[in-house]
Structure 1
Amino acid sequence: MSTKNKKPIELPTPEIQRELEKRGWALSALSEAAAALARADSTDLLIAEVCSAIAAQGPYVLAWVGRAEDDANKTITVMGGAGSAITYIQNIVVSWSDQNISGMGPGGLVIRTGKSSVVVDSELDEGFISWRELARKFGIRSAVGCPIPDGELHPFGVLLVYSKVPNAFGESEVQLFESLAKEIGFGLRSIERQHKLDDEIHEKEQTQERLADALKATIEAMARTMEWRDPYTAGHQKRVASIATAIARKMGWDDTSIQALYMAAMVHDIGKVAVPSEILTKPTRLTDLEMLMVQGHVESGYQILKDIPFPWPIADMVRQHHERLDGSGYPHGLKGEQICPEARILAVADTIEAMATHRPYRAARGLSAAMDEVRAEAGTKLDAKVVDAAFELPNSDNELQALIETQ
């Protein structure tokens, strides 16, 4: 094959090679900085990692981010930076005021104009005279500043990159760093929004916690008020609450559900305020009419609680705590799944506490008899899973006895 008409391969001129080399530095910096932007989750980390990514490329000796302040001196505050010349910005004074000599450099020009600014050669640039001597110490010969957007009257800040060789930033390199500066602005805004959201969530959680504490205190005050009328059952509701929550934990309930159960247990007998105290404290067996009046406490409790805006259906739990799975309970003879889970636990806890402690009309039957009773009614009147959980408590009898005796 003839090579007679083939043209010789033309090698890039030194000038083209220099341009390609500059482009490569900037592209590498942009690529590494983009990766840093993606993983940063705080303002300080974002700036530090982006600047480190830039300063690790080619002749770049320093990159830093400045924030434009709206103070009297129109200061540009160093937010962070990286590079072998990092101490260059340790005590640097930069302004964006056109009345101040420290505002004549690339940083000040960028903030005032909203456009990028290039120092082709620090030894020749008149606007760089304030920092020339300091730049020599660090081998700085050229620089570029690009606006970080999102300011109302001026850019939020500026990205500044310094090179140890003159004329390191041509039009293409400036465009690349402008793109990076915009991404920095987007990243800073995203982190700020996330932090605001985190703060709002934290504040909401604190508010909810305070409300929950206030609600708990209110519930406990309501329970104490009711118990003053009935000294024989003083502490009954609190003991039932302790037993019920211990059972719920054994059954694997979450904290929120246990909190709801605790609230319901603490006021499950609040309807007894509508029952004459002489009936509640009567030392002999109740008549059928008196028993009906006592049983009416669940409906009275429901009426007291139903209009209170609890975050859980407390009133329904209270109303159902004397219902039984076989329909033999009251007030509505609910069966099986018609009875809410909280009421099923309350039924077991209430039965254990009531039988194990003293009443005006009878002596305490003891915990052993109480446990025998709930075991006998498991699966018919009482929820078998709840009863099983009561028996599965660590050293069941001892733990339940402690819950009953220490309240």
Structure 2
Amino acid sequence: MKKALIVDDNEQNLYLLQTMLKGQGYDVLMAANGVEALERARSAPPDIVISDILMPEMDGFTLCREWRKDERLQHIPFIFYTAIYTDPRDEELALSLGAARFVVKPQDPEAFVAILRQVIEESETGRPLAPAQPAPEETDYYKLYSEALVRKLEDKMLALEEINRALEQEITVRKKAEESLQESHAALEKNLKGAIDVLSETIERKGPYAPGHHRRVAALASAIAREMGLTPFQVQGIELAAAVYDIGLMTVPPEFLQDTNRLDGIKLTLYQGYPQTGHDTLKRIEFPWPIADIILQHRECFDGSGFPQGIKGEDILIEARVLAVAGSMENLTVHRSYRKALPVDQALAIISSRSGSLYDHEVVAACLRLFNEKGYKMES
């Protein structure tokens, strides 16, 4: 059984060559670079060596040169098998170093095996392994070797330039696509906000609100959310939910809304169903935020005494907990038919007294900081 040593730093190349040669009855040794190849060959000389050129530690050219200097190895045929060094001058250098053949990848398996058989046969019969070429002197060798490396570097630079040009073109295309997508997103967002604003104005005309009610609730709610460190995405969702949070009130008779604290019986039941009605109205719209659920939960209380579901604590969405405090501050500081508007400090005192019961204490704390420490003013 003939023994072949294959040298390549690419594991896939080694595997493919090993599989092909074993299928042809060869015993196969493998090495990942020239240094390793010399060690293996000196301990167990092969019948033929097949080497790549571009490898770490010791490349194929240097390996071939060292191979021909070693008295124990110099009679063993050396074949270059490369996909990188394909210039005729690379082949000339390889053959001048004593290589039997210079084969460019990829090669048809049958043709490649035929080359191996021919080279081994030439070696065994004493025929020349390669066309006679004068061995380069030391200085000439290094000159040719350096020139080969420079050619490969130039090729790599050209390839990198091509890749960079392709990348620049791809980046340009992607930027244009991204800009187009952003423009479409901005247009959709503008249209959505416009539709929400129209809906908000319609609710205000129907309900017991002063003009700008939803705008003021949205401004305070988003300010509280930012003070709490919620994400910009959550803040945007809160702003939109605040514009339509009481859309369900459009199904409640206007007279019920004059003083909701005095409602009882069927009137109270009908009134307390408005968050569910609002949820059912908007759940069919696929918002990126949980708008319908925020609307459903904005009248829930932190202690579970709210409506319509009676959920409590952190089971209530943080957006809904923020909206509850902002909505209450707005309601307390505007004039109603059954009471005058309260000063901001009195409204804050009421909100603070309900912290931990009706409202989330963290939301209340953020609201108090806004007014007491950061000078927040309710919009007029």
TM-score normalised over the length of structure 2: 0.57
Aligned partner of 2:249: which letter? K
Q: 2:225 aligns with which of 248, 266, 288?
A: 248
> Greater Rg, structure 1 or structure 2?
2
Offset, 1:219 = 1.0
- Matching residue's letter, 2:367: A
Q: Distance in 1 between matches of 2:229 and 2:361?
A: 16
CA distance in 2, matches of 1:219, 1:323: 23
Given that residues 236 and 353 in structure 1 are in contact (C-alpha distance below 8 angstroms), is that contact kept between their aligned partners in structure 2?
A: yes
- Alpha-carbon contact 1:357-1:366 (below 8 Å) kept: no
Contact 1:232 1:360 in 2 (8 A): no
Change (3 A) 1:198 1:207: same
The alignment status of 1:306 with 2:252, answered yes or no, reads: no
Q: Distance in 1 between matches of 2:196 and 2:296?
A: 16
Q: How far did residue 174 of structure 1 move?
A: 5.9
Alpha-carbon distance between aligned partners in 1 of 2:260 and 2:273, rounded to the nearest angstrom: 20
Return the offset for 1:378: 0.9
**Residues 290/224 of structure 1: CA separation in 2 closer, same or farther (3 Å cut):** same
Aligned with 1:184 (options 161, 165, 174): 161
Residues 362-373 of structure 1 mapped to structure 2, 5 A cutoff: 362-373=339-350
Amino acid of the residue matched to residue 349 of structure 2?
Answer: D
Aligned position for 2:334: 357
Task: Indicate the residue corresponding to 2:179 in structure 1.
Answer: 202
Query: In the alignment, what sits opposite 2:78?
Result: none
1:337 aligns with 2:314: yes
Question: Which residue does the alignment assign to 1:291?
Answer: 268
- Give 1:270's aligned amino acid: I
Does the CA contact (< 8 Å) of 1:284 and 1:361 recur in 2?
no
Deviations 1:177-218 (A, max 9, x none): 444323211121122112222332232223222222221111
Residue 232 of structure 1 contacts residue 281 of structure 1 at CA under 8 Å; is this kept in 2? no
The 1:191/1:395 distance shift into structure 2, 3 A limit, reads: same
Q: Kindly tell me: are residues 238 and 295 of structure 1, through their superposed partners in 2, closer, same or farther at Cα, counting changes over 3 Å?
A: farther
- Offset at residue 395 of structure 1 (A): 4.2
Alpha-carbon distance change, 274 to 283 in structure 1, aligned in 2, over 3 angstroms: closer
Against the structure 1 CA distance between its residues 229 and 397, is the aligned structure 2 distance closer, same or farther, given a 3 Å change threshold? farther
Residue 221 of structure 1 pairs with residue 198 of structure 2: yes
SS in 1 for 2:299: coil
CA contact (8 A) 2:222 2:238 kept: yes
Find the aligned partners of 2:332 and 2:375 in 1 and give their Cα distance: 16
**Are 1:328 and 2:305 an aligned pair?**
yes
Task: String of CA shifts for 1:48-79, please: whole Å, max 9, x gaps.
Answer: xxxxxxxxxxxxxxxxxxxxxxxxxxxxxxxx
Q: Which amino acid aligns with 2:362?
A: K
Residue pair 2:215, 2:243 contacting (<8 A) in 1 also? yes
Count how many residue pairs are aligned between Structure 1 and Structure 2: 237
Indicate how the Cα distance of structure 1 residues 177 and 228 shifts in structure 2: closer, same or farther if over 3 A, else same: same
Q: Which amino acid aligns with 1:241?
A: A
Residue matched to 2:103: none
Matched residue SS, 2:376 = helix
CA distance in structure 2 between the partners assigned to 1:383 and 1:282 by the alignment: 25
| Gaps in structure 2 of 5+ consecutive residues | 1-86, 88-146
| 2:318 maps to 1:318 | no
Matches within 5 A, 1:3-402: 177-230=154-207, 232-281=209-258, 285-393=262-370, 395=372, 399-400=376-377, 402=378
Change in Cα spacing, 1:283 to 1:212, as seen in structure 2 (3 Å) is closer
Relative to structure 1, is the Cα distance of residues 184 and 383 closer, same or farther in structure 2, using a 3 angstrom cutoff? same
* Greater mean alpha carbon deviation, residues 222-231 or residues 319-328: 222-231
Q: Which amino acid aligns with 2:245?
A: H
Quick one: percent identity of the two aligned structures?
Answer: 34
Cα deviation for residue 285 of structure 1 reads 4.1
Q: Aligned equivalents of 2:245 and 2:359: distance in 1? A: 17
Aligned partner letter, 2:363: V
The answer to which of 237-246 and 205-214 deviates more is: 205-214
8 Å Cα contact 1:233/1:359 also seen in 2: no
Contact 2:355 2:364 in 1 (8 A): yes
Aligned residues of 2:207 and 2:250 also touching (Cα < 8 A) = no
Matched residue, 1:129:
none
Name the SS of the counterpart of 2:332 in structure 1. Answer: helix
Q: Is the 8 A contact 1:227 1:233 kept in 2?
A: yes
Q: Which moved more, 1:386-395 or 1:316-325?
A: 386-395
Q: Which has the larger displacement, 357-366 or 384-393?
A: 357-366
SS of corresponding position for 1:363: coil
Q: Distance in 1 between matches of 2:374 and 2:330?
A: 12
Which deviations, in whole Å up to 9, do the C-alpha atoms of 1:285-322 show, x marking residues without a partner?
Answer: 44443232222211110011111011111000011001
Query: In 1, distance between residues paired with 2:336 and 2:149?
Result: 91
Contact 2:301 2:312 in 1 (8 A): yes
**d(CA) in 2 for partners of 1:288 and 1:365?**
29
In structure 1, distance between residues paired with 2:325 and 2:261: 25
1:215 maps to amino acid: L
Counterpart AA for 1:274: T
